[in-house]
Amino acid sequence: MATVWVLFIFLNFDLLLKTGQCAETSGQVLSITPNSQEQVEILKNVSIHYQTVLWQPVSSDYIKEQTQVHLYVPANSSQTVNDLLHRHSITYEVMLSNADEIIEMQMRNDSTDPRSGATFYQRYHTLEDIYDWINRTAKDYPNTVKVILVGSSHEKRPLYALKLSLNNRPNKKAMWIDCGIHAREWISPAFCLFFVHYSLLFYNQNQAMTQILDNMDVYVLPVMNPDGYKYTWTNDRMWRKNRFPKKGTPCIGVDLNRNFDANWCTRGASDYPCSEIYCGAFPESEPESQAVANFLRSHKDSIQIYLSIHSYSQMLLMPYSCTMDEAENHSELYEMVKQAAENIRRYYRNIYTYGPGAKTIYLAPGGSDDWAHMLGIKYSFTFELQDRGRYGFLLPPSHIQGACNEALTAVKTIALKVMEKS
């Protein structure tokens, strides 16, 4: 009994000392590059069995030697995880030492914060504010903006898309843009809002934008996963999937970008409900993916371009992600993403990598972009916006503007190139 007490006191003292040494007790984001198979196994173990969130790669199955792992470690498991890494001589870099402060700040920094000098489009917004913004925008532009209810989420929240139709030429083509498939990627909905605002403001001001909107309508779905997005504001900033509770398991959520009917649930997705890349019970099992798929199916003759906005890692991706095979219009698509990346580099001096998803990041079947391409929307892309890992999903509001401008450049480049073809 005595030894147990001694041990207990010793352990506690040890803990006190360590928290004392490290002044802040904030969560951290670590960048770790394992350099042996043993270290790979330890990292997999840490990411599964300790209270951490793997940012990159998306699932522990893809941790491999000589490839950066980004791991969010909340304050309460910081000490344990750091010790474990030290014990196995695994070196790491602290990318963010104050992750929890940043999270707290970003949640405060919504539209009701009068202290913020930033404009509406330079801030992140709650789901309620986004719904208000959708209504306001439609009211302010009654002749050019229409709200379309494309479906509703598992928790019965509406999925609203805006249709921008700036010019009433007959038989116009269209472009579809969705944001917020993955809940924690806050820059994505921010881009959709910015894009709508920019289109309405710069039609007849900016030449490229005018040309594009003269030739095509644009459908913008700002938040495809409202239940998940809401949850990142109220419960867990790191939530990715939707909020579907799988009966018979304690786990919640389907990865909507693994739920489309494109080599569904093959390698690169998981049929384990607790996985971050859980593919769901069957293709389009989720109301959110089904709603988008139905809408695209019924508009596939007019919709020429499909864009899905994600973060992070600065990539312009094209099909396929669900197979190593090349798309039949591979070279055409490749030219487009290459040109877009070059323009971003020229205007903003920022690097975006580009290419087919499977070869550029990883095999990821069941994605909306591949499915749209297979449906016949031949110009289909997924953008991964800023940054490359410094802040990751916690990209500060001060970076919204820059990230959106870069993505806008890519949208313009691609849309103009598509228009040249038809």
**What's the closest the beta carbon of residue 335 comes to Zn ion, in angstroms?**
25
What amino acid occupies position 17? L
Using the contact rule CB under 6 A, the part of the chain among 78-86, 160-168, 206-214, 366-374 near ligand ARG is 366-374
Is 27 a residue that touches ligand ARG (CB under 6 A)? no
- Alpha carbon distance 17, 66 (integer Å): 34
**What's the closest the beta carbon of residue 181 comes to Zn ion, in angstroms?**
6
- Say which residue the tokens 């109220």 belong to: 234
Is 382 a residue that touches ligand ARG (CB under 6 A)? yes
- Choice from 367, 372, 377, 391 touching ligand ARG (CB under 6 A): 367
Q: Which of residues 298-317 bind ligand ARG (CB under 6 A)?
A: 310, 317
**What's the closest the beta carbon of residue 296 comes to Zn ion, in angstroms?**
18
Is 185 a residue that touches ligand ARG (CB under 6 A)? no
Using the contact rule CB under 6 A, the part of the chain among 21-29, 165-173, 189-197, 364-372 near ligand ARG is 364-372
In terms of CB distance, is 382 or 413 closer to ligand ARG? Answer: 382
**What's the closest the beta carbon of residue 51 comes to ligand ARG, in angstroms?**
23
Closest CA to 223 of 323, 133, 146, 331: 133
Angle at 216 between CA 367 and CA 346, to 5 degrees: 70
Active site residue 65: no
In terms of CB distance, is 165 or 257 closer to ligand ARG? Answer: 257
Q: Which two tokens stand for residue 45?
A: 């173990």
DSSP string, 164-207: E--S--TT-EEEEEEE-SSTT-THHHHHHHHHHHHHHHHTTTSH
In terms of CB distance, is 189 or 367 closer to ligand ARG? Answer: 367
**CB distance 367 to 323 below 8 Å:** no
The H or E element that residue 375 is part of is helix 368-375
**CB distance 188 to 177 below 8 Å:** no
Q: Which of residues 55-74 bind ligand ARG (CB under 6 A)?
A: 58
Is 310 a residue that touches Zn ion (CB under 5 A)? yes
Angle at 128 between CA 221 and CA 200, to 5 degrees: 45
Per rule CB under 6 A, count of chain residues that contact ligand ARG = 11
Binding site for Zn ion (CB under 5 A): 182, 310
Residues recognised as catalytic: 384
